[in-house]
Structure 1
Amino acid sequence: MRQTIVICAVVLGAPSWLGAEEFQINGRTSGAQANAAVAADADGRIAVIWSSYFSSSGRSNDILVRRIDTTGRSFDADEVQVNTVWKGNQTEPAAATNGTGMLLAAWHGPGLDAEGIFARLFHQLGAAMTDEFPVNATIEGQQLYPSVAGGEAGTFVVVWESRQADAIGKISTIRGQLFDGHATPLGSEICIDAQTHDARYPSVAMDAAGGFVVTWLQAQTMNAVMARRFDANGVPLGEPFQVNEIAFGSITQPAVAMSPSGDFVIVWDGDPNRAGDDDIHGRRFDPNGMPRTGQFTVNSLCEGTQQYPRVAIDDVNAFVVVWQHDHGDPNLATDVWARRFDAAGSPVGEQFQLNSYVTGKQQSPDVAIAAGEFLVTVWQSDGQDGSGYGVFARIEPWTIADPDPVETPHVE
């Protein structure tokens, strides 16, 4: 019988380079500013995108973006509205940059049938290059949970969950669409998951040549984390494969990051042995999709529930995972934590807390590496901006020494 060994440690202190505090991104504070995502390019330009809540004049949410540099200085006087259609609920924002610094933002909003995926392209200097446009060709049912990736080759890919109803209930598949650097569709819509009918919560990442990998939750039939690789033309490189080696009672949204050379890391949360107290798990793969490690545990602190991980990877395959930590006590805050790993997959120190504001809930983190030198983390914070949820960011140096060439993964 396979057993999971989780090595727990008391976090005694933060790494010596850790010293930055979070700062507020949103200028608009009326209503909730939530569901933040971050993208960064090789020149250090950073874009933070989020959903801003409204409750009047038929407006429910807007999608806003703010561009900053690696010092936190804003390029714009205020945040910029991404969506050009105001009616209905605009949510679930995602964004990525390509090799020329262009930014593609995507989100979920009211569609031609029920709900669709929309996108808008921005120049590296901030000007909108398009109006918002529909991404999905499939218009029946709901199109949800977009994820975006861009590569050095200049292309983008958007993936999402497509949910329709049939005679036995709702079915969910993962769809995708490639775009060139001008947001022109390349080919037709792609079926990502080979029509398994219960695929949810996709995440996508792209390498320098435009090849990409998609991961998702296979919800009902397997309750497994799945993935599939594609070439730069959107042609599948094999069938979907299972990522997790150990069965889980519950899994939420997995996430993936891919280096320019094609190595990739997939992370997820689950609770195989800890009675509902989820841990963060991960697994590394080479550019051919072959496992470099077995499944490993990311978090070193076991108390409470660890959920909603996100991951970023650099040019030499060192990576960082961020996640949300719930102490399990309604009187305690929910915090945002991180842990760094070298290119061999070995932890670089223990996990560390990112938020210094510890009142209320700090939730839904996202992470990027800017210019190969700066770690950028964003999250939503309850009450810190004086009015419900606000969006906060933290920027600090990203430096990891070259690892020993012998791989020493933290294996379960």
Structure 2
Amino acid sequence: MKKNCLPLLLVAVAPVLAFAGPVEAPPVIVPNTPVNTNTPGMYDSVDVIPLHDGGWLVAWFSPDQDADWNVYQQRYAGSGAKVGLETQVNTHTPGSQTNPAVTALADGGWVVAWDSHGQDGSEVSVYQQRYAASGTKKGDETKVNTYTTGEQSDSAIAALADGGWVVTWTRYKQNGKGFGVYQQRYAESGAKAGVETQVNSTIADSQGASDVTALASGGWVVTWMGGSGSDRKIYQQRYAESGAKAGVETQVNSTTTGKQGRATVRTLADGGWLVTWYRQNGANDDVYQQRYAGSGAKVGVETQFNSTMSGSVGIPAVTARADGGWVVTLMGKSGSDNNIYQQRYVGSGAKVGVETQVNSTTDGDQYDPAITTLEDDGWIVIWINRSGIYQQRYDAVGNPLGG
């Protein structure tokens, strides 16, 4: 995904579709606690996933930590305590390793994918590293893309119902038509299942900035941004469990004025999915969402998320919840600085209360949020500010924990 992951509670592979009550011990995490140990420095592209033990894992990249651009991760227990120290994911260190995306597997482990600059002699390629539930690496890092000319980058990843996973990315000019979206499926063993395939059918202009979510039926949905200039739109393609396309690519956004920005897609508890994206509308950005039934039919019309923010809002992040609802988080400007906001929805699609500010530290800009649902049906929001990576945990009814 970008860099936002599929909640375990909604994936058919997860053995814990029904969760057992509240967290066993009071969380030790306090409001707006830092994730990274190495400070000061620059951090970017955070992602977060839930783990089967009730904890979570945060991944990011930093150009300042070890004199190279590397990808790091930090594991947390269900109590909120750190499990060990932050660790470097990539083994190859020359060049730059950036833009991690992570997904949790049915066996309790996880896979991290990232962009590696110059590792295989190409401009950029996508690599991945699998981990066991213990946190140890399973095998070596491997290259995802087969085609290597030019740039293959900006990956998203989702665990599938069969125990495997699928990685999507953007490829430059394989067919001489600008950027395109490609994917590679993996079996539970970690072996490639078939060959990489092109997702987008439309090849005019550029197609890129993909995201992917797994469906309980065993298939998956890929979203991306297509077009050029002011004529950018959001598209999606559904896949069956077999890996065959289920129907044709379809346009998600109904309103076509303004530029449609990068989209995020998440599976919902009812078997459908939700696509969110931002639209550049003059001096301000707005965030929209469109819900889909498991059949692929639209549920209602696209709706606007943000109501009180101005300026640029950035890429929205979404997590689905076991009660059928979801939570959207994004960066928004209120006053002179950018802050992180969230809005909760119930299964009917109705808002629960109003959008609320996540960060309590307001010095400087807060940006690049990620969010995931945890085993207790609460959730955690991760974001970046100028001093590091921060997080805030919530219980199942939306109360901030800690403090």
Unaligned runs of 5+ in 2: 1-29, 36-78
Corresponding residue of 1:300: 360
Corresponding residue of 2:101: 37
Aligned with residue 326 of structure 1, among 371, 380, 386:
386
Tell me the distance in 2 between the aligned counterparts of 1:266 and 1:175.
20
Q: Secondary structure at the match of 2:82?
A: coil
Shift of residue 43, structure 1, vs aligned partner: 2.9
Aligned with residue 278 of structure 2, among 180, 199, 217:
217
Corresponding residue of 1:205: 266
Verify: 1:26 aligned to 2:86, yes or no: no
Corresponding residue of 1:391: none
Q: Is the 8 A contact 1:261 1:315 kept in 2?
A: no
- 1:66-215 matches, within 5 Å, as 66-76=129-139, 78-111=140-173, 112=175, 113-164=177-228, 169-197=229-257, 198-215=259-276
Q: Is the 8 A contact 1:163 1:173 kept in 2?
A: yes
Q: Is the 8 A contact 1:93 1:107 kept in 2?
A: yes
Tell me the distance in 1 between the aligned counterparts of 2:34 and 2:145.
42
Corresponding residue of 2:18: none
Shift of residue 264, structure 1, vs aligned partner: 0.9
Aligned with residue 389 of structure 2, among 318, 333, 336:
336
Rate the CA distance shift 1:208–1:99 in 2: closer, same or farther, 3 A: farther
Rate the CA distance shift 1:261–1:150 in 2: closer, same or farther, 3 A: farther
Rate the CA distance shift 1:285–1:191 in 2: closer, same or farther, 3 A: same
Q: Is the 8 A contact 2:285 2:312 kept in 1?
A: yes
TM-score, normalising length from structure 2? Answer: 0.76
Shift of residue 17, structure 1, vs aligned partner: 2.3
Q: Secondary structure at the match of 1:188?
A: coil
Q: Secondary structure at the match of 1:106?
A: strand
Corresponding residue of 1:398: none
One-letter code aligned to 1:145 = A
One-letter code aligned to 1:265 = V
Tell me the distance in 2 between the aligned counterparts of 1:146 and 1:16.
31
Tell me the distance in 2 between the aligned counterparts of 1:255 and 1:75.
29
Tell me the distance in 1 between the aligned counterparts of 2:312 and 2:203.
30
One-letter code aligned to 1:236 = K
Q: Is the 8 A contact 1:269 1:279 kept in 2?
A: yes
Q: How many pairs align?
A: 327
CA RMSD of aligned residues (A): 2.2
Tell me the distance in 1 between the aligned counterparts of 2:190 and 2:125.
18
TM-score, normalising length from structure 1? Answer: 0.75
Summarize deviations over 1:169-221 as a string: whole Å, max 9, x none: 53111000111223211111021111525211100100255300011101125
Rate the CA distance shift 1:45–1:180 in 2: closer, same or farther, 3 A: farther
Rate the CA distance shift 1:142–1:300 in 2: closer, same or farther, 3 A: same
Shift of residue 11, structure 1, vs aligned partner: 6.3
Verify: 1:286 aligned to 2:349, yes or no: no
Tell me the distance in 1 between the aligned counterparts of 2:106 and 2:96.
31
Summarize deviations over 1:86-144 as a string: whole Å, max 9, x none: 01111110000122222010000124311100000001221110211100011111112
Summarize deviations over 1:19-66 as a string: whole Å, max 9, x none: 532111101111100000100134312010000001885x11110011
Shift of residue 12, structure 1, vs aligned partner: 8.4
Tell me the distance in 2 between the aligned counterparts of 1:10 and 1:188.
45
Structure 1 segments of 4+ aligned residues over 4 angstroms from their partners: 9-16
Summarize deviations over 1:157-180 as a string: whole Å, max 9, x none: 11011123xxxx531110001112
Q: Is the 8 A contact 1:283 1:296 kept in 2?
A: yes
- 1:227-242 matches, within 5 Å, as 227-242=289-304
